[in-house]
Every structure is written in C-alpha cells, then in structure tokens.
Amino acid sequence: MEGRNKIKELFRNKKIVTGAHVRTQDPCMSELIANIGYDIVWVENEHSFLDKCNTNLHVLAAQAGGAAAVVRVAWNDPVLVKPVLEMGVDGIIFPLISSAEDARKAVASCLYPPQGVRGFGPIRANRYGLIPTEEYLKSANDDLFKILQIEHVDGVRDIDRILEVPGVDAIVVGQNDLSGSMGKLGMIEDPQVQEMMRTVFEACKRHGIPGGISCGPSARELDMWFEFGINFVFMPNEFEWVRTGAVNALDMIKTYERRIEG
C-alpha cells in the first residue's frame, strides 16, 4: 500500500525480483522475510490455513518491513479477491489460469467499473479514508499488480492469448500442477514438461511481460530456471526452511555422535 506501483517499480529497477512464501499464522514470518531483504512476500491462501485476519496481519507485517505483499487467492473468483484487495495488498496471484477468458475474469476482479467489476469499499487500500476518493480512484486500478499462474497444459496452449489480455502484469509457472496435468506429476526435468515451461517463458519475452517461478534454494534448480530466462523467483515457505535447517542440524549432530561411538 505504501508507495504506488511498488512491484512495477521493482521490475523497472532490478534484473531479478526476489520473493518468498508464508503459510503459517504468525505475521512475524512476513516481517522477518521482508527484513532479510526479499522484495515480495507471497501470502498463501490456496494451500494454507490462513483466514482473512491472518492474511491481513501478514500484509501489514510485510509492508512494514519494506517488502511488497501479494496474496494468492484460493480460486479465480471475484468474491475471494474483493476482501483481499481491501487489505491494501500490492498484488494478487491467481491460480490455474487456463484461458484468455480466465485471464479477463481475473483482471476484471481487480478493477473498478467500467474497466472491471470490483465493488467499492477500500478500507485499508485508501488508508481508511485518509486518501480522498477522487485521488484514490485516479490510480487504484493501475496500482494492483496482477500475477497469473499457468499450471495446466491448456494454459500453455493459450498462453499468447492470455498475455494479450490488458492488465496482465506477470506470469508465474506452477511446475508441479503443470506436470500433473500432463500425467507426470513432479517430473520437472522431464523433456516434455520442460518444453511446456519453456514455451511459457518464451511467450513472456515476446510480449514483454515478466515470467517467474517458485522453487527451492537449489543452485541446480536455479541454474535451470535462469537458463529459461525468468525475471523473478519465489523461495520456499517457512515449513521448508525449518525442515531444511532442522534436518541439516540433526545430521551434523549425528556425525559427531558417530565419531564418539567410533
């Protein structure tokens, strides 16, 4: 909310925009990610236990820490999008966009009439009314960054038409569900799956729209994604960070234990 077009400014000024996911109820996680220096906090509403109150607290914490806050809604539905917009988010991530019609529906849910179908009740989006309505409406439609997720073969096949929809700001590939739609769930390095992903990123380049990915902190994986030409990357959520750190720490202790026993 602080600073108009925050994410668009990031893409203008940085070669690679960085983000990380949050799924737990504790907004301190968003504050920590922001303070570490990630550009964007992805607040997860599709695969998490977060309610509206939790989500709002994450948005406040991320923005207070200096990061942009985006929320992935559970479905491409204006009813789910509306209350999230009123939280003053910097952007929305829409899952499972498989056609230009899906893309138009997603964009319309973020825009006030006549361009879209968003109902008026901005709450935090206009600083609780401290921004006069006339001033707020001048830039409200342009301020929301709309990220569409391609995670089905149908979306890949219609990618050029999707990218031609006015108001689409970025594309993120959901590699696991995309591979699943091909009958190859989790087989990210399968040549056919990679060809599908490459098709999406090449289309993004042609249309001048950023394309990105969510992945783990693996140099091998990152090499692959950067070779594909991504513009942004989201790192894992708290569960994965804790699991990775805890497993590594336990392995170190077990190593010492084996030395003592030996």
CATH number where 129 lies: 3.20.20.60
At residue 258, the pLDDT reads 86
Rounded to an integer, what distance in angstroms lies between the CA atom of residue 53 and that of residue 175? 30
Cα–Cα distance, 97 to 101 (Å, whole number)? 9
User: Could you tell me the mean pLDDT of each successive run of 10 residues in the chain, 262 residues long?
Assistant: 75 96 97 98 97 98 97 98 97 98 98 98 96 96 96 98 98 98 97 98 98 94 96 96 96 92 78
pLDDT at 4: 61
Query: Which domain, by its residues, includes 160?
Result: 6-261
Whether 99 is covered by a domain: the verdict is yes
Structure tokens, 215: 């992945």
pLDDT of residue 1: 46
Confidence (pLDDT) at 196: 98
Report yes or no on 253 lying in a domain.
yes
Residue 169 forms part of a structural domain? yes
Residue 242 lies in a domain: yes
Catalytic residue among 21, 47, 58, 207: 47
Answering whether pTM is above 0.75, one says yes
What is the C-alpha to C-alpha distance for residues 173 and 180, in angstroms, rounded to an integer? 13
Q: What is the rounded CA–CA span in Å between residue 148 and residue 159?
A: 11
Burial class (CB in 10 A: 0-12, 13-18, 19+), 149: buried
C-beta separation of 18 from 233 below 8 A: yes
Asked if 47 is an active-site residue, the reply is yes
Distance CA 193, CA 175 (A): 8
Determine the pLDDT at residue 162.
98
**pLDDT value at position 257?**
86
CA atoms of 150 and 143, how far apart (whole Å): 22
| Cβ proximity of 95 and 76 under 8 Å | yes
Q: What is the pLDDT of residue 95?
A: 98
Distance of CA 143 to the CA centre of its chain: 16
* Domain contains 162: yes
Half-sphere exposure of 174 (CA within 13 A, CB side): 23
* HSE toward the beta carbon, residue 226, CA cutoff 13 A: 10
Structural domains of the chain, count: 1
Asked if the structure places residue 127 within a domain, the reply is yes
Domain membership flag for residue 1? no
CB 38 within 8 A of CB 66: no
Measured CA distances, 218 to 43, 89, 96, 107, 211 (Å): 22, 29, 25, 33, 19
β-partners of residue 231 are none
Burial of 114 (0-12, 13-18, 19+ CB in 10 A): exposed
